[in-house]
Amino acid sequence: MKKITLILITFLLVTGVSGSYGYFVYIYDNDSSSSEDAIVRDDIVEEEQSETSQNQTVSNETEEPEEENLPFETVGIFRCIEIDSEQRCWQTHEPSASLQGSPVPLVIDLHGYGFNSTEHRRISDFDEVTDDENAVVLYPDALDFSWNSGWCCGESANLERNDLGFIIEMVDIAIDFHNIDSKRVYATGWSNGCAMAQALANKASHIFTAIGCMSFYLLQLPDDNYSPIPIIELHGVADSTVPYAFDASGGLIYGQVPSLQTASGAIQNLNNWKDMNGCNGLIPDINEPGTLFTVEGFSDCTNNAEVRLVTLHFHGHNPYSEDARQESSGFFLPGSQVPISTSQIAWDFISQHSK
């Protein structure tokens, strides 16, 4: 074996296969490279990495199949595509059991303003919440830490960035690439991500089955092509960032103010969706009071597209148990000390629905 190896090495050196030689040297040096270097040179590194990224959530992710012409580019722990000349990326949670047997649900989980997919994945806990049904969960990243969800918030709204097109293409890729039940495609999210989830319901109701999100409202006028789908929104009465009563003051934080047609609050948002979903009754026919939270809503709606509001009695803007920290600024919002899982409440509602 030693002789064969020596001959091979000698052959490479003599014939001048400098690309192969340089490739192996590069991989050897990669152990000391920075994560930024690895992303810039992902065409070499992405398939050779042996260490888990420090931002990657430890889970039972499956290895990327060795196929040519994938519908995305792999960059570290991310899958990326190009939308309007901008690179758009997401993380994927895919339980091994989802690769075989019956098709599984797909969940799009959207981070809030100023946060990113890694931080949101840590606090929302949708990986574990959905594991019983082997759901595939995608955690996309907004550019400039903001989603163009309507009148608020941040640079993506100012630039009218095509976040809708990005998410729809990401969903199409997931349906083609994974073992997805296209009749069970859901969206969830927090804050600006919740507003984006409701924008997906409004603009892409033909794709999404149901929406369940936290701490924001629909920030757009109803779309002409909207077809009713079930909606649940969870909101803390102690939310000072996006107030429970009226969101205009929350918009002032970002220098953006809604029109009278798109201004809302938790109760108004419930009624807006009630009207969009063609629900009968002037007052909610569902009223479930509780010590930690109250559920109210409408059940007699077009397409069985029921509407719910979960009022969280002791929550602020962060609806999750874990503290939320912005990697970009260091700002954090303390997690709730209330012994409930808002992600579980949202999942229990949306997962019962199918197209």
Residue 265, by phi and psi: left (phi above 0), alpha (psi -120 to 50) or beta?
Answer: beta
Tell me the two tokens of residue 82: 């190009």
Asked if 125 and 341 touch (Cβ cutoff 8 Å), the reply is yes
Residue with token string 């059991």 = 97
Kind of pairing between the strands at 73-75 and 332-333: unpaired
Q: Does position 1 have pLDDT exceeding 90, yes or no?
A: no
Residue with token string 């010590």 = 291
Provide the pLDDT for residue 249. Answer: 53
Asked if 103 and 180 touch (Cβ cutoff 8 Å), the reply is yes
Residue 154, by phi and psi: left (phi above 0), alpha (psi -120 to 50) or beta?
Answer: left
Provide the pLDDT for residue 12. Answer: 33
Provide the pLDDT for residue 247. Answer: 66
The CA angle 22-25-26, to the nearest 5 degrees, is 85
Q: Does position 57 have pLDDT exceeding 80, yes or no?
A: no
Asked if 296 and 314 touch (Cβ cutoff 8 Å), the reply is no
What pTM, to 2 d.p., does this model score?
A: 0.79
Provide the pLDDT for residue 201. Answer: 98
How does residue 312 score in pLDDT terms, banded at 50, 70 and 90?
A: very high
Distance CA 261, CA 205 (A): 21
Provide the pLDDT for residue 34. Answer: 37
Provide the pLDDT for residue 70. Answer: 87
Q: What is the pLDDT of residues 102-140, one digit of tens each?
A: 999 999 999 999 999 999 999 999 999 999 999 999 999
Asked if 293 and 340 touch (Cβ cutoff 8 Å), the reply is yes
Q: What is the pLDDT of residues 143-159, one digit of tens each?
A: 999 999 998 888 999 89
How does residue 37 score in pLDDT terms, banded at 50, 70 and 90?
A: very low
What is the set of domains in the chain, with CATH numbers?
Answer: 59-350 (3.40.50.1820)
Provide the pLDDT for residue 257. Answer: 59
Distance CA 144, CA 139 (A): 16
Q: Does position 165 have pLDDT exceeding 60, yes or no?
A: yes
Kind of pairing between the strands at 104-110 and 136-140: parallel
Q: Does position 36 have pLDDT exceeding 70, yes or no?
A: no
Provide the pLDDT for residue 305. Answer: 98
User: What does pLDDT average to over the chain?
Assistant: 82
Residue with token string 């701490």 = 215
In the three-class reduction of DSSP (H, G, I as helix; E, B as strand; rest coil), residue 243 is classed as coil
Q: What is the pLDDT of residues 251-310, one digit of tens each?
A: 555 555 556 556 679 999 999 999 999 999 999 999 999 999 999 999 999 999 999 999
What residue type is 195 in one-letter code? A
Q: Does position 211 have pLDDT exceeding 80, yes or no?
A: yes
What residue type is 74 in one-letter code? T
Check residues 190 and 257 and name the one with the higher pLDDT: 190
Percent of the chain with pLDDT over 70: 76
Which strand (E) or helix (H) includes residue 107?
strand 104-110
Q: What is the pLDDT of residues 316-355, one digit of tens each?
A: 999 999 999 887 778 889 999 899 999 999 999 999 999 9
Provide the pLDDT for residue 153. Answer: 82
